[in-house]
């Protein structure tokens, strides 16, 4: 029992007061040495080039909270069937609240004086088949003059088989769009607007966005937006389409706040499409109701237009010691790959691998309580 007690105390003493360290062996081998240095050089290049320079691993990141306000300006003149009309922003912009998503009408089909009554349906564009999607309720009667069925609906039935070409509001190409964007980075307590320091009152009265000469001007010509998104204005104005206006904020707050400026990018989301495509363009219908001679009537308008989506992407970075130390620690850990690869070469691939195993590892056997070294 006394011996068992002494052994227990020795174990505790060894655990508390003894230190073990890995055995290191210096190997002079050109192939292994060159392989080790190449791997370490590659790891160092990864840490400096990718982690710190490209990914900016020494900085903390924050995404933006933003708001967008838009305003359209411009007028268009039309003369259709002898009727003259001037269209202003209240007529061609939907909705008119000035949000980040809206439609600018560029073409339309108007059906005047519709009433709830009975009338013949229209033939399909081929003039041979009846349109499968009826705009009303069938009465079961046939109309001999049109060779179609009689339906109960808003009469006369809208005829949208021929879309006006050229577009009715081709002048929309010269309409202008003003975008006001404000962002904040709550993590860094930074607020910015696309009306940056160089965009003052005098400049904004005379500027028009151009990617080379006026990249910070927040006023855009609709035709330029369509062109920069990759569409042809006449084609997309005829049937409608959708365009994304991206306001991109990439801010490095380690430098002056005045360097935090927006970049505008334009993307055609969908437009005129290709011949034979099932669904082309963008359109919707709106109706204006009124009463005439105690009969409810309406004017139906099928609107073709450009749907503008203003999208904001904001990302700010700033130096922070925590991600810096994390990146450095990860890099130091990756250096261990060189040791693993070189050990595999020494122990399994080189001709003198058994000699290296004896040098690297020490095996012992316990004989009557005495540790005796053993060679492999």
Distance CA 125, CA 350 (A): 80
- Residue found under tokens 């021929």: 162
H-type helices in 240-320, by residue range?
A: none
Classify residue 302 as exposed, middle or buried by CB count within 10 Å of its CB (0-12, 13-18, 19+).
Answer: middle
Binding annotation:
71-73, 176, 283-285, 302
Rg (CA), the chain: 38
First-residue to last-residue Cα distance in the chain? 37
Query: CA-CA distance, 192 to 180, in Å (whole number)?
Result: 11
Identify the burial level of 205 via C-beta atoms within 10 angstroms of its C-beta, where 0-12 means exposed, 13-18 middle and 19 or more buried. exposed
The DSSP secondary structure of 153-173, one letter per residue, reads EEESPP--SS--SS-TTGGGG
- Per the CB < 8 A criterion, the answer to whether 106 and 306 are in contact is yes
CA distance 89 to 73: 6
Alpha-carbon distance 226 to 243, whole Å? 7
Q: Distance between CA atoms of 54 and 37, rounded to whole angstroms?
A: 23
Whether the CB-CB separation of 99 and 68 falls below 8 Å is answered with yes
User: What number of residues does the chain have?
Assistant: 376
> Is the CB of residue 247 less than 8 Å from the CB of residue 264?
yes
Tokens, residue 114? 């519709």
Run of H or E including 286: strand 283-292
Binding-site residue ranges for ATP: 71-73, 176, 283-285, 302
CA-CA distance, 277 to 238, in Å (whole number)? Answer: 16
């Amino acid at each position: 029992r006394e011996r068992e007690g002494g052994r227990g105390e020795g174990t505790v003493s060894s655990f508390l007061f003894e230190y073990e360290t890995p055995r290191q062996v210096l190997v002079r081998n050109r192939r292994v040495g060159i392989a080790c240095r190449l791997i370490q050089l590659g790891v160092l290049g990864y840490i400096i080039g990718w982690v710190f320079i490209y990914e900016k691993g020494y900085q903390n990141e924050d995404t933006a909270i933003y708001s967008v306000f838009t305003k359209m300006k411009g007028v268009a003149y039309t003369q259709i069937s002898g009727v003259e009309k001037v269209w202003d922003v209240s007529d061609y912009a939907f909705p008119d609240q000035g949000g980040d998503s809206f439609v600018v009408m560029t073409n339309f089909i108007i059906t005047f004086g519709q009433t709830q009554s009975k009338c013949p349906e229209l033939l399909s564009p081929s003039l041979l088949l009846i349109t499968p999607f009826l705009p009303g309720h069938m009465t079961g009667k046939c109309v001999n003059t049109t060779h179609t069925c009689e339906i109960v609906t808003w009469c006369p039935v809208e005829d949208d088989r021929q879309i006006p070409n050229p577009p009715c509001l081709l002048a929309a190409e010269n309409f202008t769009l003003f975008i006001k964007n404000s962002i904040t980075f709550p993590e860094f307590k930074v607020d910015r607007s696309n009306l940056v320091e160089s965009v003052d009152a005098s400049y904004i009265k005379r500027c028009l966005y151009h990617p080379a000469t006026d990249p910070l001007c927040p006023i855009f010509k609709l035709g330029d937006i369509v062109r920069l998104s990759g569409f042809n204005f006449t084609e997309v104005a005829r049937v409608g389409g959708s365009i994304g206006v991206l306001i991109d904020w990439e801010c490095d707050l380690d430098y002056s706040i005045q360097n935090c400026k927006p970049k505008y990018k334009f993307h055609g989301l969908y437009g005129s499409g290709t011949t034979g495509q099932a669904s082309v363009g963008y359109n919707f219908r709106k109706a204006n109701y009124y009463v005439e001679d105690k009969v409810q009537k309406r004017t139906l308008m099928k609107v073709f237009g450009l749907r503008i989506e203003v999208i904001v992407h904001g990302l700010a970075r700033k130096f922070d010691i925590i991600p810096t130390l994390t990146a450095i620690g990860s890099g130091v850990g990756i250096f261990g790959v060189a040791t693993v690869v070189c050990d595999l070469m020494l122990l399994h691939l080189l001709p003198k691998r058994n000699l290296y195993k004896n040098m690297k590892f020490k095996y012992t056997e316990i004989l009557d309580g005495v540790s005796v070294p053993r060679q492999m």
